[in-house]
Chain A
Amino acid sequence: MHESIIKTTAMTINIYNRLCKPIFFFDRKKVLAILSLLFCTAFTLTAHAQSTVHGKVMDEAGKPVPSASVTVKGTSRGTTCDENGSFSISASSGDVLVISFVGFINKEVEIGNENNITVSLTPSNQQLEQVIVIGYGTQRRTAVTGAISTVSGKTLNELPVISVPEALQGRVPGVNVVENGSPGSQPIVSIRGISSITYASNPLYVVDGFPTGDLSTIDTRDIESVDVLKDASAAAIYGSRATSGVIMITTKKGRRDGKLHVSLNSYYGIQNVSERLSLLNPEQFDQYATAYRGSKVSRRSDPAWVNTPIYQGANTTYGNNVTDWQDAYFRQGNMTQTNIGVSGGNDISRFYASAGFFDQTGIAPAVGYRRYNFRINSEHTISKTFNFGENLYLAYGDQSYDNNETGTRSNLVNVIKMMPYMPVYDPTTNGGYRGVNSVLDGGDPTNPLEDAELKNPGSRTTVKVLGTVYAEINFTRWLKFRSTFGVDYANSLDYRFSPIFNDSGTVAGSSAIQATITNNRSISAVQLYTEQLSFDKNFGSHHVNAIAVYEYQGQKIRNENASGNQASNDLKTLNNASNISAQTLVGENSLISYVGRVNYDFKGKYLLSGAIRRDGLSVWAPGKKWATFPSGSIGWRIDQENFMKNQTKISELKVRAGYGITGLNGTILGNTPWLVGVNANSAYYPFGNVISSGPASSIQAFGNKDLEWEKTKQINIGFDLGLLNNAITLSAEYYQRKTDNLILAVPLPPSMGYLTSSVIANVAAMKNNGFELQAGYNDGKGVFQWNATGNLSIITNNVISLAPGVPNIEAGSDVDLTEGYNVTNTAPGHPVQSFYGWEVEGIFQSGDEISKSPFQTGGTGPGDIKFRDLDGNDTIDIRDRTFLGSFIPKFSYSVNLGANYKNFGLTLFFQGVQGNKIYNALRTTTEGMVRFFNAGTRVLDAWTPSNTNTNVPRAESSDPNQNARPSTRFLEDGSYLRLKNIMVSYNVPEKSLQSLTKGTVKNLNIYVSAQNILTFTKYSGYDPEVGNRAPGSSSLTNGIDYAVYPQPKGYQIGINVNF
């Protein structure tokens, strides 16, 4: 574009030397010689005698722009304006000065004969000028033809969160983020619906060009921006890994303004559980025990026990002790994060360096996360031809976790089940906790605090190193070659120490005779090589941008698992331990890719893009390793047309359409999913009662050599509209995604006899259709400024077909929580994993009513639930189950409001989902009355002959009618609207700041914020944000609440300082 101002005159000798000599190294090859000539010419500059040029930089209104950067184009000479906007620089006639400052359009001025110039900068419309990371390159937002959403680092850091996915919640239409567990756990992220039935639909994360995982270790404060590639035409550049979308993370780089910038961000906050369940107190527990089992439990009825102190020396007895297990279990969590960043740069080099610290303790015992992280990003201009850069990130993370957080009898479940008169602690026991006696207490819960704090606390420490280095050769202004090498190394140690203890209880896990040490190490090293040739040139009104890439990414994994026993709690390592068992496992995978892409536009208004990626992945069987993923898209910038030139209202109008094929990242299936080996010596049979006398080898699964990529075809149509100089913006997208060869764990009949009861195969088809809308308003004028952004996303999901011979796939059964029945069913014509069960008709009021109704079970009695006989055969059986709804919201939305008045700022962030169902399996525990435990207060309203006007069935030992089977009884509306964040901030006025700190502090921002303080929902569980905490964790159990770690409400105070 600015070629015209470069004059082709005689080159100076020293530039010739600098640039061309090395090229002549290859003078045997003529092509190179020609090439060298070409760009020696192109970079030719004149070098007249230099003189000092003075100048002043102003904005539109004539106010000086301090700190603007001024450089002499094509040289490393540069300076920065002073507070009056003045500068002086040595330059000669014919030189071109480049003046840049953030928020303004760069301006180039050719020096004539004058040596005092005034430059007026035009504010940039950031919306229009924004550059978007599109994978292997960037593109101006206006030229983008795919569905890409961008989130700035500023927005990303409004919430106090550990990781990028959490920060993205509600920020991008079509991106659904569901929290899933305690600090350090990864949330569930899905872009544009469920793309895979069997596998987690996590998107691909690309950090500075490096596809990586485990984002809990990446510090969000280092992030400049996040770009989400949602549709296939955008994402397909990552081909086989892009089905679930691609999240491009760009970390900060220094500014080339010749100054050092220092920033400090820090906050401290507290968190508390937001909901409590209503559970029985000791008196109510007695009442329930009498109803359920015919009598109070011994400890509450036998006078010898009622008056016994809860332990020797205690001043309460079993008769009057009260423990609120929720109070005992939940606690205040603390959270603090600090990040110091230093950045700077000039024409030669720029850098960004930071150090971060994050520390969080959870609202439940023994959970927390701590991280120390360091980053250095730098970029150097070696010469006109060569650039060199590197990104290096180091993080040390330490996650404290509760090994009994998930599963059927998680600690949260035991909080509900524990008898309310039992003490938490008992100083007379070994270990200091107290367990139940199933004889005297009538049931067998375990003490959740003991479980979390004494028996099951674990830590996962991870050292992560993510480094990339790249070198760039600029052959010409329009032809570049870039070579990148990167390593993503993670070394994590999972350590648990379970001590010797005895809590005087009688249930499984009440005591340990030996201490157990578990020491599992996992080492993963990923290598990445990217060789990329980029071409970018205008031919008149035609603009062509093309890339060709060769890429190799390989991972090597090594797991070393060891465990053993010690006879003393003082010995916490495996040194001289007994019963040592050790195992090492290795694995590797490789991905080889060839990528090509051409972006073309004519006069900047007709846009065309086509890309193709061919991937070879090691995880498939021979013959299935390679696949090709093409994509294409078109766009029309209507606002650039002549007929639009005369109107002023519409500042931007673009329509676009794209189509592409993407694949499911095969490595999530394992390194050799098609291959079944022999589990040699994987068990022992104790012939002669000698444990290791019978080594056993078996084949535990059935393999499938035909396994191949899961491919998704997607069409996307969208438009972008900007009104009133983009004060109002609107983006809408419609898409259809269809996957034909979905990989599915096809259940094998148990009669085939494999331990792994399914085999993965490409056997199903599914579609997701959706609509997304993003609207924004920005009032940037006046003292009072405000802006609003709204997101709306509508998704419909339908399974089209399943494997021949597989009419449906059921999942979610659990002995304790669902009475052994599956809760979800995946079948053609229905959304994936729809809830499935019986319909409740009412409660049987009499034996007469039972005998006149369809037969349920031999144990049905008055007060039991009457289920609907859907097939009309007069018997209630598994054929009477039906589809009850989906966990997928009909729509999800968010609203972001921001306002500034003078130095005060206010941000409100609402997020919500509507129209989804939750199967509240936790109610099996609180009111299911399947086995005897403590329960929720709802059981007091159970049906009795004198309490017939209720929807809680009778309290009957063992639930003979299976009232707690999956049915509409525990199915609830999961809609919610949540005030995710509210933040009030104050910018300390610049004047007082400058005088106060003698100019060292540039600006200071103080804020207070609160999260999740307001939730509107009808859902009765702890938290309507239900992830997937199922035992076994297949993706067919989303939206089942097996007792989730609830999202806490939190309060923070923080500061942002720039020096």
Chain B
Amino acid sequence: MKRNINVLFIAIILTIGLIIACDKKLDVTDQNNPTTESYFKTALELQNGVNAIYSSLRAGNLVGREWFFTHDMRGAETWAGGSQLEAPRAELLKQPSPSPSNSVMTSVWNGTYQMINRANLVISKAPTVTDDPALRDICVGEAEFLRAWAYFELVTMWGDVPVYTDPITSTSDYKAKSPAADVYAIIISDLTDAVAKLPATAAQQGRATSGAANALLGRVEMQKGDYAAAKEALLKVYGKYSLVPNYSDNFDGDIKLGSSQLTVGHEFNSESVFEVAFVDKGDNNFNWGYTGEGATNPVSIMRSQEYGIVWGNVIPSDQLLDEFEPNDPRYKYTFYESGDHILTMGGTEPGVALTEDGMNVAQSNHDGVVKKRVFRKYSILDWTDDGFHPDGINQRMIRYADVLLMLAECEAEVGSPSQAAKYINEVRARPSVNMPPVTLTTKNQALAAVMHERSVELAGEEVNNIDILRWRAKGYYPSIRPDPKPGQVNFFPIPASEIAANPLLK
């Protein structure tokens, strides 16, 4: 018996000895993800790479939240709804220049460069993709369009910025600032190439088209000061889109509450040149992670919540209210004020009257009338006042009315005032707006009319602050009108986190 146990024991020990692992065990790789070498080999994979750039675009860092704040706080169209406006936003709004640690500004910096990195990846991988050259080229066009958009945001907010056009290969591949002129050159080159590669009509709503690329090219050239080139690009868009009769159709979207669909919006309409898609899943969730990542994460936007009556962080400025002509119907389409009715379900219900007490905002002064007002544009208040509900209204980044008014400005600068008036009047003649036409005879008249019309038509659409920079640079303040934000420093400081990690920006 003992003997058998001993035999067994030696056998066990030898067995253990034999199953000892060999060095091959050390070759472990990641079994959960494809490798960088094996992926981005087909046009469809490349397109997934492009989709990731769009995904960064709609993230909380950018259009989902901080991007519209950066534009609106920086421009002259808004004011704080009260003490609840968070400090970094209040700082952008009220200080001539924010501190380098400003988190809102930093988010936009991070988000745009994430788009650029993802675009650089697509563009660098494209040459090795051969299975579907047509789709591959469209992918490159989209990547170029989005990269151009990102660099334009950067150059208009920070001026001179680091430029990356290829994925980095080493941790020390950080870049120093490039002069704004070089940044513009890259944007224009990208957009020119994108125009050639992109189709006029995209395979899916929301993808960049040649029209979007031309419209953005026009905006970029104007900002750079080349109105002739801008006009040339914009004319390629002229007539390809049309204004929707109902002005409000540009700012609505599908609204869901729980499982009930409250309304179907007019997104991707004939006026929309480029828009960023958001979806209301009916829940009250927002992707607070800010990155646009996570396959099941919410794809909502905070706009309506931030500017609504409940959070009331942002209200229209007195300046903006006073910009409207007294009888301009766009005033009521753009703002709610106490006494107005919300929850009218698109006019099918009498709705609920807004009261001073029911609005968590400071009062504003419109031509001497002091009461509480909030933005109606991009608001879901006509459909739901649920306290907290991030929305799914698509952000119209470029719409045809903007294109027409850009053309008007080009005409004012390098064409004729009467031609400028023609474009402006197209915008004013929209059925639901129906404002009397303007007659323009001098350049300054035309410029003043463009300034007014852009301010009113595009109020709260994140273009005014860029317009201010352009007009300020041209010296139109105070020659045509007073500076709407006197003392403002044109460009943001480079974010502290960038300076801390990029030795070339010390």
Does any Cβ of A come within 8 Å of B2's Cβ? yes
Residues of A within 8 A of B311 (CB): 438, 444, 506
Taken together as a complex, chains A and B put the C-alpha atoms of A581 and B267 apart, in Å, by 28
Cβ of A386 and Cβ of B171 under 8 Å apart?
A: no
Cβ of B33 and Cβ of A677 under 8 Å apart?
A: yes
Partner of A485, one of B16, B204, B495: B16
Cβ of A554 and Cβ of B94 under 8 Å apart?
A: no
CB distance from A450 to the nearest CB of B (A): 14
Does any Cβ of A come within 8 Å of B199's Cβ? no
Residues of B within 8 A of A514 (CB): 258, 283
Taken together as a complex, chains A and B put the C-alpha atoms of A552 and B19 apart, in Å, by 10
Taken together as a complex, chains A and B put the C-alpha atoms of A157 and B8 apart, in Å, by 41
Cβ of A960 and Cβ of B279 under 8 Å apart?
A: no
Does any Cβ of B come within 8 Å of A586's Cβ? yes
Taken together as a complex, chains A and B put the C-alpha atoms of A198 and B503 apart, in Å, by 21
Residues of B within 8 A of A682 (CB): 52, 293-295
Residues of A within 8 A of B3 (CB): 17-18, 21-22
Chain B 252-285: CB-based contact to A (< 8 A → 1; otherwise 0)? 0110011000000001100000000111011110
CB distance from B284 to the nearest CB of A (A): 6
Taken together as a complex, chains A and B put the C-alpha atoms of A513 and B294 apart, in Å, by 21
Taken together as a complex, chains A and B put the C-alpha atoms of A560 and B166 apart, in Å, by 37
Partner of A473, one of B13, B16, B113, B167: B13
Does any Cβ of B come within 8 Å of A859's Cβ? yes
* Interface-side segment among A94-102, A134-142, A634-642, A668-676: A668-676
CB distance from A565 to the nearest CB of B (A): 8
Taken together as a complex, chains A and B put the C-alpha atoms of A581 and B16 apart, in Å, by 42
Residue of B19, B101, B310, B496 ringed by the most chain A CB atoms within 10 A: B101
Interface residues on B, range: 35 or more
Does any Cβ of A come within 8 Å of B134's Cβ? no
Residues of A within 8 A of B83 (CB): 292-293, 442, 931-932, 957-958
Cβ of A857 and Cβ of B99 under 8 Å apart?
A: yes
Partner of B277, one of A481, A507, A688, A804: A688
Cβ of A672 and Cβ of B30 under 8 Å apart?
A: yes
Cβ of A678 and Cβ of B39 under 8 Å apart?
A: yes
Does any Cβ of B come within 8 Å of A622's Cβ? yes
Taken together as a complex, chains A and B put the C-alpha atoms of A473 and B293 apart, in Å, by 57
Cβ of B86 and Cβ of A931 under 8 Å apart?
A: yes
Does any Cβ of A come within 8 Å of B226's Cβ? no
Cβ of B168 and Cβ of A752 under 8 Å apart?
A: yes
Taken together as a complex, chains A and B put the C-alpha atoms of A679 and B38 apart, in Å, by 12
8 Å CB contacts to A: which residues of B31-68?
A: 31-36, 38-40, 45, 48-49, 51-52, 54-55, 58
A752-B295 contact in complex given A17-B3, A438-B311, A677-B30, C-beta closer than 8 Å: no
Residues of B within 8 A of A700 (CB): 293
Does any Cβ of A come within 8 Å of B121's Cβ? yes
Does any Cβ of B come within 8 Å of A985's Cβ? no
Chain A 504-519: CB-based contact to B (< 8 A → 1; otherwise 0)? 0111111111100000
Cβ of B30 and Cβ of A675 under 8 Å apart?
A: yes
Chain A 76-114: CB-based contact to B (< 8 A → 1; otherwise 0)? 000000000000000000000000000000000000000
8 Å CB contacts to A: which residues of B453-506?
A: 495-498, 500-503, 505-506
Taken together as a complex, chains A and B put the C-alpha atoms of A374 and B172 apart, in Å, by 54
Cβ of B496 and Cβ of A750 under 8 Å apart?
A: no
Chain A 491-512: CB-based contact to B (< 8 A → 1; otherwise 0)? 0000000000000011111111
Cβ of B88 and Cβ of A815 under 8 Å apart?
A: yes
**Chain B, interface SS category:** loop
Taken together as a complex, chains A and B put the C-alpha atoms of A302 and B357 apart, in Å, by 9
Residues of A within 8 A of B500 (CB): 747, 808-810, 822
Cβ of B295 and Cβ of A689 under 8 Å apart?
A: no
Taken together as a complex, chains A and B put the C-alpha atoms of A293 and B279 apart, in Å, by 36
CB nearest neighbor in B for A807: B503
Chain A 741-785: CB-based contact to B (< 8 A → 1; otherwise 0)? 000001111111111010101000000000000000000000000
A625-B26 contact in complex given A25-B10, A686-B206, A751-B113, C-beta closer than 8 Å: yes
Does any Cβ of A come within 8 Å of B220's Cβ? no
Does any Cβ of B come within 8 Å of A617's Cβ? yes
8 Å CB contacts to B: which residues of A254-311?
A: 292-293, 298, 302, 304
Cβ of B294 and Cβ of A687 under 8 Å apart?
A: no
Cβ of B292 and Cβ of A683 under 8 Å apart?
A: yes
A751-B51 contact in complex given A438-B360, A680-B34, C-beta closer than 8 Å: no
Residues of A within 8 A of B167 (CB): 699
Does any Cβ of A come within 8 Å of B303's Cβ? no
Cβ of B29 and Cβ of A752 under 8 Å apart?
A: no
Cβ of B299 and Cβ of A684 under 8 Å apart?
A: yes
Does any Cβ of A come within 8 Å of B242's Cβ? no
- Count contacts between A and B, CB distance < 8 Å: 370
A859-B95 contact in complex given A444-B84, A592-B26, A696-B48, C-beta closer than 8 Å: yes
Does any Cβ of B come within 8 Å of A483's Cβ? yes
CB nearest neighbor in A for B258: A513
Does any Cβ of B come within 8 Å of A579's Cβ? yes
Taken together as a complex, chains A and B put the C-alpha atoms of A687 and B173 apart, in Å, by 34
Cβ of A687 and Cβ of B206 under 8 Å apart?
A: yes
Residues of B within 8 A of A18 (CB): 2-3
CB distance from B13 to the nearest CB of A (A): 5
Residues of B within 8 A of A958 (CB): 80, 83, 85-87, 90-91, 94
Does any Cβ of A come within 8 Å of B145's Cβ? no
8 Å CB contacts to A: which residues of B94-110?
A: 94-96, 99-103, 106, 109-110
Residues of A within 8 A of B425 (CB): none
CB distance from A298 to the nearest CB of B (A): 6
Does any Cβ of B come within 8 Å of A531's Cβ? yes
Partner of A386, one of B9, B31, B100: B9
CB nearest neighbor in A for B121: A699
Chain A 1042-1055: CB-based contact to B (< 8 A → 1; otherwise 0)? 00000000000000
CB nearest neighbor in A for B38: A678
Residue of B26, B96, B114, B502 ringed by the most chain A CB atoms within 10 A: B26
Residues of B within 8 A of A962 (CB): 87, 99
Cβ of B20 and Cβ of A680 under 8 Å apart?
A: no
A686-B279 contact in complex given A22-B7, A681-B295, A805-B503, C-beta closer than 8 Å: yes
Cβ of B13 and Cβ of A820 under 8 Å apart?
A: no
CB distance from A518 to the nearest CB of B (A): 12
Taken together as a complex, chains A and B put the C-alpha atoms of A355 and B338 apart, in Å, by 69
A750-B20 contact in complex given A683-B295, A699-B36, C-beta closer than 8 Å: no
Cβ of B101 and Cβ of A820 under 8 Å apart?
A: yes
A585-B32 contact in complex given A678-B40, A819-B101, C-beta closer than 8 Å: yes
Does any Cβ of B come within 8 Å of A443's Cβ? yes
Residues of A within 8 A of B55 (CB): 683-685, 694, 696, 698
A511-B52 contact in complex given A471-B13, A748-B171, A962-B99, C-beta closer than 8 Å: no
Residues of A within 8 A of B103 (CB): 815, 820
8 Å CB contacts to B: which residues of A213-241?
A: none
CB nearest neighbor in B for A759: B171
Taken together as a complex, chains A and B put the C-alpha atoms of A385 and B13 apart, in Å, by 13
Taken together as a complex, chains A and B put the C-alpha atoms of A529 and B15 apart, in Å, by 12
Residues of A within 8 A of B88 (CB): 815, 819-820
Given A481-B13, A753-B115, 9 other A-B contacts at CB below 8 A? A18-B2, A302-B357, A471-B13, A618-B28, A675-B29, A696-B49, A753-B117, A878-B101, A960-B94
- Of the A-B pairs whose beta carbons lie under 8 Å apart in the complex, a sample of 17, sorted by A's number, is A438-B310, A439-B312, A473-B9, A506-B311, A513-B283, A529-B19, A531-B20, A552-B20, A592-B21, A592-B23, A618-B25, A702-B171, A750-B497, A752-B168, A821-B101, A957-B82, A958-B83
Which 5 residue pairs are nearest across A and B when measured between Cβ atoms? A753-B117, A677-B33, A506-B387, A439-B360, A749-B502
Residues on A lying within 8 angstroms of B by beta carbon are 17-18, 21-22, 25, 292-293, 298, 302, 304, 382-383, 385-386, 388, 437-440, 442-444, 471, 473, 481, 483, 485, 505-514, 529, 531, 550, 552, 554, 563, 579, 581, 585-590, 592, 616-619, 622, 625, 671-672, 675-691, 693-700, 702, 704, 746-755, 757, 759, 761, 804-810, 813, 815, 819-822, 857-859, 877-878, 930-932, 957-960, 962
